[in-house]
Structure 1
Amino acid sequence: MNDEKEPQGTTPWMKSLAIWLGILLALVLFVSMFDSSTRAAAGETVAYSEFLGHVEEGTVKEVDIGDGVVTGKYTNGSAFRAYAPADPTLVQRLADKNVVFRAQPDEQPSVWMYLLYQSLPFLFILGIGFFVMRQMQKNAGSGAMGFGKSRARMLTQKEGRVTFDDVAGIDEAREELQEIVDFLKDPSKFARLGGKIPKGALLVGSPGTGKTLLARAIAGEANVPFFTISGSDFVEMFVGVGASRVRDMFEQAKKNAPCIVFIDEIDAVGRHRGAGLGNGNDEREQTLNQLLVEMDGFEANEGIIIVAATNRPDVLDPALLRPGRFDRQVVVPRPDIEGREKILLVHMKKTPLAPDVNARTIARGTPGFSGADLANLVNEAALLAARKGKRLVAMREFEEAKDKVMMGAERKSMVMTEDEKKATAYHEAGHALVSLHVPGCDPLHKVTIIPRGRALGVTWNLPERDRYSMTMKQMKARLALCFGGRIAEQIIYGADELNTGASNDIQQATDMARAMVMEYGMSEKLGWLRYRDNQEEVFLGHSVSRNQSVSEETARLIDQEVRRLVEEGEATARKVLTEHLDELHRLATALLEYETLTGEESKRAIKGEDIGRDDGVSRPSTPLAAGGSSIPKSKRPGGGWGDPAPQGA
């Protein structure tokens, strides 16, 4: 930013006009410099002897005699030019042949024009230098000599004021920051009782939860200047540049106090000092040291509140988090169902909605969504409605947008053979049937065999409410759910026809079982001990896990317990699918007919009831037999990547 103000009345078109006038004046000067030589250059150049011959022949009409140059015209009207030596007989010859002749005086340029011609190159160079210096002053952060200038940008209310009314779903964070707003509006209210407002507030939360929006809302509510800068803007290849930018940023903030300085992604500059080989990055550490001094050093920065955001508070230097600096940490979590409903209502204000749209229903079906995810959901629904030529966004568009965001776009161009579709239908039907019959599984929301993203089919389970923890019963049920697809394929096609489609199912089950044993204390043999430390530290740009060492006997016991949990999940899934084999066939048949079924439609399908939907999809000519004999044994892709991938936990 530049503190220098433009003169009153100066407008961009006036400055542009001045520039063009200067260019035009320079062109006129250049033209005037070479105008005389251009005029002299008019006509054909002939030898002086040839000129005298034409005079004797009487073909010369008129002549202008100058200093060493003779110009004129022939009787036919063409012009000529000849360089003449000192010839005293020339005038007499012209008079004898009745040639009209004139004498041209020597043109002597004025002193001022001479000085102007000589100084024009220097004036041109000075003009370029003046222009470059002006640009460096205006763009101090990006100019050639502006390395040490702050790159912080000041946002004014002209760019769109944001208030707490635009921030929904994070009421606790708003309440904590309301105190900062009250201080900026009336500092004396706190000073009377000897209270001091926190100098810094650190917003901690996952990406997309609204940290930046919350910081802008503070400035909008308090109606004060708002400086924004990224942590990476301080880092430069030249030593000392980052510290200089920090000093310049605080100097600008003091001139506009009271104000808010927002540093986004502060972990780029505020990481632990002395970590890594060679005591880390000296330039980054100097920048951090300067930031610490400016926030709470000998010089007071009254009226300046630093708000920073990060999703990695564990890597920040402890000196940043002590009282007097970022002494107030505000957690910005992912919203619950109430918060998601409020966020949806905020983003739906500018969208024309159909009467059947229910924000509460959409909020229930989007557990784990952040504010940015919900904004993207509303935008995708609006785009889908516009693509269909609709004037209102209906609930159907929101459901399609939710499927697209959570499961990926439909791969309509992907052509699957009938055998592959049947194999995928059995795989997904296995997952769905296990989720319907095993206590502890989340309710079945939707199952589809339409390829989405990188998956050939998806079984989608949603919890009845927001979940913040899981019991052992629920985790064991999820282990059984992971193996539902693989067991269904094995029952129908045999062990020799298993394929690689269940690789992600196996990975999820293994990771979950290992976490139950090593982290959650869900093994009686190993007890309530933690055998894995999932903390990571950065070393030379790589994340290095610090795993607690265990003995060979303990490691062997861990493997045995992990295998036991996995085998219990397999056995549970096999028992359910064997006892409900007829339901497996009926659900697979319905998936082949409709390709996508909701949870309620799946329940009606396994009972043999009509699901009550007629979408015009062609039906198979021969339904699947109870034994699955109509399915040829061929190599099949299975459920695909990302399946079942239960959502919302």
Structure 2
Amino acid sequence: MMEFLKKLWPKKTNKETKKTVKNNGIPREVLDKLPPGVKIRKIEIGPSQILRGVVTMLVIYWVISLLQPLIGDSVAKVSLSEALAAIKENRTEEVVVMDNEILVKLKDSGKTLVVSKETSTSMAEIIQREGIDVSKIKFRVENRSGWKMLGDIFNLFLTVGVPILFILWFFNRQTGQGGAGGMFGFGKSTAKLFVKGKQNLKFTDVAGVEEAKKDLEEVVDFLKNPEKYHKIGARAPKGVLLVGPSGVGKTLLAKAVAGEANVPFYAMAGSEFMEMLVGVGASRVRDLFATAKKAGKAIIFIDEIDAIGRVRGGLDGGHGEREQTLNQILVEMDGFEANTAVVVLAATNRGDLLDPALMRPGRFDRRVILEMPDLPARIEILKIHARGKPFNKTVEWEKVARRTVGFSGADIENMLNESAIKVARENRSEITMADIEDSALKVKLGSEKRRDQSEEDKKMTAYHEAGHAVVNYVEGLDPVTRVSIISRGMALGYTLVPPKRDEIHQTKSKLIKQMAMAMGGRAAEEIVFNDITTGASSDISQATRIARDMVVEWGMGELGPVNFGPQIDLNDWGKVWMEPSKVSDQMQSRVDEEIKKIVNAAFERAKEIIKKNRKKLDELAKMLVEKESLDEKEFEKLMKG
């Protein structure tokens, strides 16, 4: 309660008081004409001041309520007969008659007796009926109907109005934190404004997405030098949509645009348009575009636009508020009123969910697809994120880039940051190659966990991982960079086989080898222990997934090049249609049999390799039990020895 009151009546320092007096908003010419000694005090009445007054009244009411029992002895409610008896005995000083109450003030005790009566009944008539001389009594009549009405209104205000005001204040405070202007600013945009110089990122700080940078640099240049393009008859792109998986640099590119653009840059998340009140989303869209248009030339960035730009209708039955917000965006971007000054930049990792009307030219003229960085891109990203960090001279960035196939830009940044944290924790001055390797494992697999395992469990895990590694080596797949029986994340052990290079296509022969490698752990368990464990669950899932895709999606099975999956598509109206019934029950059964056949063949292939290389398997498992982890050189030496 005290904290609440402190917020209502904050203490002002002398500095703040002087500033308030100095900046009271009164024109200087008015102050100069005032007579000497005359001062003007500025009184502001706003929601905060009104709330303070209400709380003050409430506190006074509570104080009176608390003091009421202490003064309650001077006032007593009695029956009419008791009051008449006091009047007969001449113990009264004064009788005050009101609408439906009589106050009888006693002489000696100073006590006041309160008697209820009917409004239409005269007190004088009652006293006369009792045989009392009215002329000897001091009467006073008060009309309290107005005061009673005010009292009733005050009580109603305290019981109903104050809670409502408190709820409105609390609601206003919560919504005001979002920057929308509070309760009465629901329809206002919550976009954050960035001007040149506020954002330190530049295009030179972004690497690995050269095509996207080129598209965005053109947009920024168009806004800076429109005459150069107008001479050729070109118009500015109305929208640029960045689509790609998480961590590839969509938001980073937007920050770079904010740092480069010489025009106002308004940033807002798609989820910020939606609110609990209906119609707020569309209102915020209108306000956002109106604000941007007032600035002349501007860029609007909507992050995670799929929150409001999803297909209307479809399988989910639609969402009225979201669709209303989307419709308003469509109109603002390319509606009846021409829009030539505002460029919309949006980002999403679910481009497949966006409404076709949002994707058409005239709204998002450019769709930039961002993918996982390739080898040259990873080298450039590593160099950018290595700035300001002390690395040992032995660190080879090309080797690190080859090691990080499948890493996004965010993964690479996180990896180097984890390396720096590790070095700082150990009070060292340089980041080594081993630190980077350990951080790469931490980013992808999780932190290392030293579990208390029995010798039997260690042996089973060692043979399981050795089975994967041996099959992978014999099949001639990508080199094994590390084999370990140290737990990371949910795995008891792991065999790390990063791709040597970025691959676009997968051949059938390589997929079969990958399935055999996945089943290598289960094959080793069965051959060595004549038993199997639950540790192969993820391996079986991986092999089954590859086999299913080979048969159903890629036409690599004996059933021929036919797609047996459900037929899903979107038409121009955003309607989803599916035709899973094209595959008969008999054909579905054959598909299942084909998948089972491929997985079983991979398992038998793995067992055959394990049997032929049992000696190497035993040696590798023994070394894993002793050392717990082997790197690429140690593994290669053992297999070639």
Separation of aligned partners in 2, 1:358 and 1:454: 31
1:295 equivalent in structure 2: 333
- Is the partner of 1:568 in helix, strand or coil? helix
Count matched residues.
486
Matches within 5 A, 1:127-206: 141-206=180-245
For residues 589-612 of structure 1, give each alpha carbon's deviation from its aligned partner in whole angstroms, at most 9, with x where no partner exists. 11122211123311222345xxxx
Counterpart for residue 367 of structure 2: 329
Q: Which residue of 1 aligns with 2:554?
A: 520
Residue 247 in structure 1 maps to residue 286 in structure 2:
yes
Q: How does 1:601-616 map to 2 (within 5 A)?
A: 601-608=634-641
1:264 equivalent among 303, 311, 326: 303
Tell whether the 8 Å contact from 1:532 to 1:548 is kept in structure 2 after alignment.
no
Does 2:573 correspond to 1:555?
A: no
Residue type of the partner of 1:203? L
Per the TM alignment, residue 513 of structure 1 is displaced from its structure 2 partner at its CA by 0.5
Q: What is the match of residue 424 of structure 1?
A: 461
The answer to whether structure 1 residue 319 and structure 2 residue 362 are counterparts is no
Deviations 1:324-371 (Å, cap 9, x if unpaired)? Answer: 101210111111011011011101102111111122111111111111
Percent identity between the two aligned chains: 45
> Match of 2:573?
none
Structure 1: how far apart are the matches of 2:313 and 2:591? 36
3-state SS, counterpart of residue 145 of structure 1? helix
- Structure 1 residues 350 and 157, CA, compared in 2 at 3 Å: closer, same or farther? farther
Equivalent in the alignment of 1:499: 533
**Per-residue deviation, residues 370-418 of structure 1 (Å, max 9, x unmatched):** 1111110010000111111111111111011011112221112x10111
CA distance in 2, matches of 1:243, 1:143: 17
Q: Distance in 1 between matches of 2:567 and 2:633?
A: 40
Q: Give the distance between the partners of 2:14 and 2:333, measured in 1 at CA.
A: 39
- For 1:486 and 1:562, how far apart are their aligned partners in 2? 18
Summarize the Cα distance change of 1:562–1:398 in structure 2 as closer, same or farther, 3 Å threshold: same
Q: Does 1:438 align with 2:443?
A: no
The DSSP-based 3-state class of the residue aligned with 1:208 is coil
Q: CA deviation at 1:465?
A: 0.6
Unaligned runs of 5+ in 2: 1-12, 23-40, 44-48, 50-55, 57-161, 571-575
Match of 1:219 in 2: 258
Q: Which residue of 1 aligns with 2:379?
A: 341
- Whether contact under 8 Å (2:379, 2:397) holds in the other structure is yes
* Residues in 2 aligned to 1:309 and 1:237: alpha-carbon distance in whole angstroms: 24
Q: Which residue of 2 aligns with 1:6?
A: none
**Contact conserved, 2:197 with 2:259, CA < 8 A, in 1?**
no
Is 1:481 aligned to 2:517, yes or no? Answer: yes
The residue aligned with 1:490 is: 526
Please say if residues 536 and 546 of structure 1, whose CA atoms lie closer than 8 Å, have aligned partners that are also in contact. Answer: no
Question: Which residue of 2 is the match for residue 40 of structure 1?
Answer: none
> C-alpha deviations, 1:97-152, integer Å up to 9, x for none?
xxxxxxxxxxxxxxxxxxxxxxxxxxxx9xx999x999999986141100110111
Richer in helix (by share): 2
Could you say if the C-alpha distance between residues 312 and 443 of structure 1 is closer, same or farther in structure 2, counting changes exceeding 3 Å? same
Q: Distance between the aligned counterparts of 1:297 and 1:492, measured in 2?
A: 71
Task: Give the structure-1-normalised TM-score.
Answer: 0.70
- In 2, Cα distance between the equivalents of 1:276 and 1:607? 57
Matched to 1:437, the amino acid is: V
Query: 1:183·1:190 contact (CA, 8 Å) conserved in 2?
Result: yes
State the match for 2:119 in structure 1.
none
SS class of match (2:460): helix
Structural mapping, 1:573-612, within 5 Å: 573-608=606-641
CA displacement at 1:433 relative to structure 2: 0.4
Matches of 2:502 and 2:175, distance apart in 1: 54
Give 1:172 shift. 1.3
Tell me the equivalent position of 2:597.
564
Cα 1:16–1:454 change in 2 (3 A) is farther
Compute the displacement of 1:314 (Å).
1.4
State the partner residue of 1:64: none
- How far apart are 1:156 and its partner, in Å? 2.8
1:388 to 426, 444, 449: 426
Query: Is 1:231 matched with 2:264?
Result: no
Write the letter of the residue equivalent to 1:18.
T
For residues 311 and 241 of structure 1, the distance between their equivalents in structure 2, rounded to whole angstroms, comes to 25
Secondary structure class of the residue paired with 2:608: helix
The alpha-carbon distance between structure 1 residues 355 and 548, as it changes in their structure 2 partners (threshold 3 A), is farther
Deviation, 1:220, is 2.1
Distance 1:22 1:411 in 2: 66
Q: How far is 1:510 from its partner?
A: 1.0
SS of 2:185 mapped into structure 1? coil
Residue 203 of structure 1 deviates from its aligned partner by 0.4
Match of 2:444 in 1: 406
Aligned equivalents of 1:587 and 1:12: distance in 2?
77
> Structure 1: how far apart are the matches of 2:187 and 2:387?
44
Does residue 365 of structure 1 match 2:407?
Answer: no
SS at match of 2:182: coil
Q: Deviations over 1:519-542 (max 9, x none)?
A: 01101x3111111148599xxxxx
From 312, 315, 325, give the equivalent of 1:273.
312
Output one character per residue of 1:59-96: Cα deviation in whole Å (capped at 9) or x when no partner.
xxxxxxxxxxxxxxxxxxxxxxxxxxxxxxxxxxxxxx
1:207 to 236, 246, 256: 246
Secondary structure at the aligned position of 2:448 is classed as coil
Residue 449 (structure 1) aligned to one of 485, 490, 493: 485
DSSP 3-state at the match of 2:407: coil
Alpha-carbon separation, structure 1, partners of 2:487 and 2:408: 26
- In the aligned structure 2, how far is the partner of 1:434 from the partner of 1:510? 18
Q: Relative to 1, partners in 2 of residues 1:276 and 1:19: Cα closer, same or farther, differing over 3 Å?
A: farther
Tell me which of 375, 378, 391 is aligned to 2:413. 375
In the superposition, relative to structure 1, how do residues 428 and 140 fare at CA in structure 2: closer, same or farther (>3 Å)?
A: closer
AA at the equivalent of 2:311: H
CA drift of 1:546 comes to: 6.7
Shift of 1:235: 1.1
- Matched with 1:118 is none
How many Å apart are 1:474 and its aligned residue? Answer: 0.7
Shift of 1:545: 8.2
Does residue 415 of structure 1 match 2:449?
Answer: no
Contact residue 517 and residue 606 of structure 2 kept, 8 A? yes
Give the aligned CA root-mean-square deviation in angstroms.
3.1
Amino acid paired to 1:510: T
Give the 3-state SS of the residue equivalent to 1:144 in structure 2. helix
Q: Is the 8 A contact 1:201 1:326 kept in 2?
A: yes
Give 2:347's match in structure 1, choosing from 304, 309, 317.
309
Partner AA of 2:254 in structure 1: A
With normalisation by structure 2, the TM-score equals 0.71
Give the aligned residue type for 1:391: S
Matched-pair contact (CA < 8 Å) for 2:175–2:186: no
Shift of 1:547: 4.1
Please, which of 500, 504, 509 is the counterpart of residue 468 of structure 1?
A: 504
Q: 1:313/1:135 Cα in 2 relative to 1: closer, same or farther (>3 Å)?
A: closer
Tell me the CA shift for residue 469 of structure 1. 2.0
Distance 2:350 2:549 in 1: 22
Structure 1 residue 426: Cα displacement: 0.8
Distance 1:365 1:135, change over 3 A: closer
Instruction: Report if aligned partners of 2:467, 2:610 keep a CA contact under 8 Å in 1.
Output: yes
Note if contact 1:136-1:145 (Cα within 8 Å) is conserved in structure 2. Answer: no
